[in-house]
């Protein structure tokens, strides 16, 4: 599964979380969130799971564009 960076940013912003707050809740480094959202790094399946848990959404939701899963 490949995380969609635009979807991550949108879900994070709609939840009212800053990158730092998401990183704290997910237990990852703040710079990782920035790098993922900027397209500089891909998230591992473990990180996708942590982000989804922190955002209270499904992992599939973070890998979608307009409701379509990204391969």
The per-residue DSSP string of 1-34 comes to ----HHHHHHHHHHTT--HHHHHHHHTS-HHHHH
pLDDT bucket at 64, cuts 50 / 70 / 90:
confident
User: For 39-57, what is the mean pLDDT?
Assistant: 96
**Measured between alpha carbons, how far is 38 from 30 in angstroms, rounded to an integer?**
13
Q: What is the pLDDT of residues 5-40, one digit of tens each?
A: 999 999 999 999 999 999 999 999 999 999 999 999
pTM: 0.89
Structural domains of the chain, with CATH? 5-69 (1.10.260.40)
Residue 52 has pLDDT above 80, yes or no: yes
User: Looking at residues 33-62, what average pLDDT do you find?
Assistant: 96
Q: Which helix (H) or strand (E) holds 68?
A: strand 68-69
């Amino acid at each position: 599964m490949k995380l969609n960076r635009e979807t991550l940013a949108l879900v994070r912003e709609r939840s009212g979380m800053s990158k730092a707050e998401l990183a704290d809740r997910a237990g990852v480094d703040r710079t990782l969130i920035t790098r993922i959202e900027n397209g500089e790094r891909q998230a591992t399946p473990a990180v996708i799971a942590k982000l989804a848990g922190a955002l209270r959404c499904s992992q599939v939701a973070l890998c979608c564009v307009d409701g379509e899963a990204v391969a």
